[in-house]
């Protein structure tokens, strides 16, 4: 079962990118004024400083300015003002009277939303599966589809025999924050060299995953949270992403099983020893450059290198395909999240490049029935 997506504002599909529609958020100057103006509401039972009034006015102005998802934007920002994150929190406090300081803060948030800053950047955090991650621009805001990618990886990890029988996910009796083993896969002689190559300190799980293009750490940290036997190496070409993943790992207390490395996908074969990983997973940049101008304005706040995958969208994917057989143990999986047009292209690419030493297994659909997740396997020899 997938966890509830508590604050998913975005909006996959229908837009040009197929996936990259962000939580909208923009209030206009009028909104800003209205939020602090005590006139104009027809219902005498609604106090002009109440949560209900402020949210209604905010939503109205957002809608007038054609800001995407005005209702959700207004309510998520109010939830943050009220120190809660569920929309229910806002609903249950409709009559709460806001202080001047709260109204002022809400007004500032509204101003940013009117500039189409994504809500997660305005409130500085976002939920991903069971975790709340700190977020700051330009590091990519994790999308709900990626929660499904993690689910596939977790299922895959369950099929791998390990020395321990206590592997579990949240809700099991196993303490996910505990050290669960003495080294990362004792079966691999290469593992002992990994610290030297990468500066790694992640060495406590019996299964070892690599997350390529870790961004905020959403995939890596969820794997660590939900699979106690896993240790993860997370890499990103962007230092802001590396820093944010480290920050989130420290906040969530996962530093002992996570190794964050600043490097590009093209460097991975040099940076990591052969056959080190049980799973390689990536949500790489995959939007074809030609599609970039058509993306929603909110995406301008995100690092364009996190989105733009080159002419065919597959520049980084091809780097990953080229090094995965080196990185993976025989028979182990590579999972990729891509654009719905790309799985057949990747399948054909792998067939035409036997030197990749990868076998295509399947593509899987996301919650909107679009083929988005590619499952490949390193050949046994
Ligand atoms: C689509 S974002 C995914 C972020 C995160 N994994 C998630 O799902 O929210 C792609 C990430 O890949 C990183 N990236 C882009 N090109 C890369 C490359 N050549 N090598 C390694 N990382 C790269 C970007 O900096 C960005 O953080």
Q: How does pLDDT run across 244-278, given as a tens digit for each residue?
A: 999 999 999 999 999 999 999 999 999 999 999 99
Residue/partner pairs of 162-171 with CB below 8 Å, 24 or more apart: 162/206, 162/207, 162/229, 163/206, 164/206, 164/229, 166/228, 166/229, 167/207, 167/227, 167/228, 167/229, 168/227, 168/228, 169/226, 169/227, 170/130, 170/225, 170/226
Give yes or no for a contact between 171 and 256, defined as CB atoms under 8 angstroms apart. Answer: no
Residues in contact with ligand 1 by the CB-under-6-Å rule are: 140, 142, 146, 212-216, 218-219, 235-238, 241, 264-265, 283-285, 303, 305-306, 316, 319
- Which of 281, 337, 321, 319 lies closest to 18, judged by CA? 337
Q: How many DSSP H helices and E strands does the chain contain?
A: 13, 9
- Write down the pLDDT at residue 44: 57
Instruction: Choose the residue to mutate in 236, 242, 265 for probing ligand 1, maximizing ligand atoms within 8 Å of C-beta.
Output: 236
- Which of 244, 219, 234, 248 lies closest to 157, judged by CA? 219
- Which of 15, 17, 13, 10 lies closest to 287, judged by CA? 17
What DSSP string describes 30-61? HHHHHHT-----S-TTS-TTBHHHHHHHHHHH
pLDDT top residue among 168 and 302: 302
Rounded to the nearest whole angstrom, what is the distance from the C-alpha of residue 302 to the centroid of ligand 1?
11
Q: Strand 358-365 and strand 371-378: pairing?
A: antiparallel
> pLDDT at residue 8 above 70?
no
Give yes or no for a contact between 150 and 159, defined as CB atoms under 8 angstroms apart. Answer: no
Rounded to the nearest whole angstrom, what is the distance from the C-alpha of residue 94 to the centroid of ligand 1?
40
Rounded to the nearest whole angstrom, what is the distance from the C-alpha of residue 140 to the centroid of ligand 1?
8
Ligand 1 atom nearest to CA at 220: 6
CA distances from 260 to 98, 131, 133, 176, 178 (A): 42, 18, 16, 19, 19
pTM given for the model: 0.82
Tens of pLDDT, residues 119-137: 999 999 999 999 999 999 9
Ligand 1 atom nearest to CA at 282: 6
Task: For CATH 3.40.50.150, list the domain ranges present in the chain.
Answer: 127-160+177-378
Tens of pLDDT, residues 18-61: 333 343 322 222 233 233 333 344 565 568 899 999 999 999 99
Query: Atom 17 in ligand 1: which residue has the minimum CA distance?
Result: 237
- Which of 229, 234, 228, 209 lies closest to 153, judged by CA? 209
- Region 127-160+177-378: CATH code: 3.40.50.150
Rounded to the nearest whole angstrom, what is the distance from the C-alpha of residue 215 to the centroid of ligand 1?
6
- Calpha distance 76→70 (Å, rounded): 10
Rounded to the nearest whole angstrom, what is the distance from the C-alpha of residue 219 to the centroid of ligand 1?
11
Tens of pLDDT, residues 353-375: 999 999 999 999 999 999 999 99
Ligand 1 atom nearest to CA at 142: 9
- Calpha distance 363→292 (Å, rounded): 24
Instruction: Choose the residue to mutate in 12, 142, 215, 318 for probing ligand 1, maximizing ligand atoms within 8 Å of C-beta.
Output: 215
Query: For 236, what's the count of Cα atoms within 13 Å in the CB-facing half-sphere?
Result: 27
Tens of pLDDT, residues 216-244: 999 999 999 999 999 999 999 999 999 99
Q: Tell me how far the alpha carbon of residue 359 is from its chain's centroid.
A: 27
> pLDDT at residue 15 above 60?
no
Please provide the average confidence, as pLDDT, over all residues in the chain.
82
Rounded to the nearest whole angstrom, what is the distance from the C-alpha of residue 282 to the centroid of ligand 1?
8
């Amino acid at each position: 079962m997938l966890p509830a997506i508590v604050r998913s504002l975005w909006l996959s599909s229908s837009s040009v990118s197929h996936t990259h529609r962000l939580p909208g958020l923009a209030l206009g100057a009028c909104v800003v004024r209205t939020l602090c103006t005590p006139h104009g509401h027809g219902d005498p039972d609604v106090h002009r400083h109440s949560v209900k009034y402020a949210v209604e006015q905010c939503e109205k102005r957002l809608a007038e300015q054609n800001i995407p998802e005005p209702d959700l934007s207004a309510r998520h920002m109010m939830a943050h003002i009220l120190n809660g994150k569920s929309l229910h929190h806002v609903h249950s406090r409709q009559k709460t009277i806001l202080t001047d300081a709260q109204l002022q803060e809400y007004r500032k948030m509204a101003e940013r939303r009117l500039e189409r800053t994504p809500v997660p950047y305005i409130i500085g955090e976002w939920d991903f599966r069971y975790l709340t991650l700190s977020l700051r621009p330009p590091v990519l805001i994790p999308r709900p589809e990626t929660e499904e990618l993690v689910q596939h990886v977790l299922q895959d990890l369950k099929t791998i025999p390990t020395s321990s029988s206590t592997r579990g996910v949240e809700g099991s009796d196993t303490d996910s924050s505990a050290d669960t083993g003495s080294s990362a896969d004792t079966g691999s002689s290469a593992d002992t060299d990994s610290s030297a190559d990468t500066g790694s300190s992640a060495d406590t799980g019996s299964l070892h995953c690599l997350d390529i293009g870790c961004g905020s750490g959403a995939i890596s940290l969820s794997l660590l949270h939900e699979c106690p036997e896993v240790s993860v190496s997370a890499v990103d070409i962007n230092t802001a992403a590396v820093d944010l993943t480290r920050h989130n790992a420290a906040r969530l207390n996962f530093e002992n099983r996570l190794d964050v490395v600043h490097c590009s996908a093209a460097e991975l074969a040099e940076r990591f020893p052969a056959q080190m990983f049980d799973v390689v997973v990536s949500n790489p940049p995959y939007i074809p450059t030609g599609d970039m101008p058509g993306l929603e304005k909110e995406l301008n706040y995100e690092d364009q290198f996190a989105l733009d995958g080159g002419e065919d969208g597959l520049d980084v994917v091809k780097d990953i395909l080229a090094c995965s057989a080196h990185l993976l143990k025989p028979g182990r999986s590579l999972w990729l999240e891509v654009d719905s047009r790309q799985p057949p292209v990747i399948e054909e690419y792998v067939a035409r490049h036997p030197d990749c030493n990868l076998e295509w297994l399947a593509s899987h659909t996301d919650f909107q029935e679009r083929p988005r997740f590619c499952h490949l396997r390193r050949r046994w020899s």
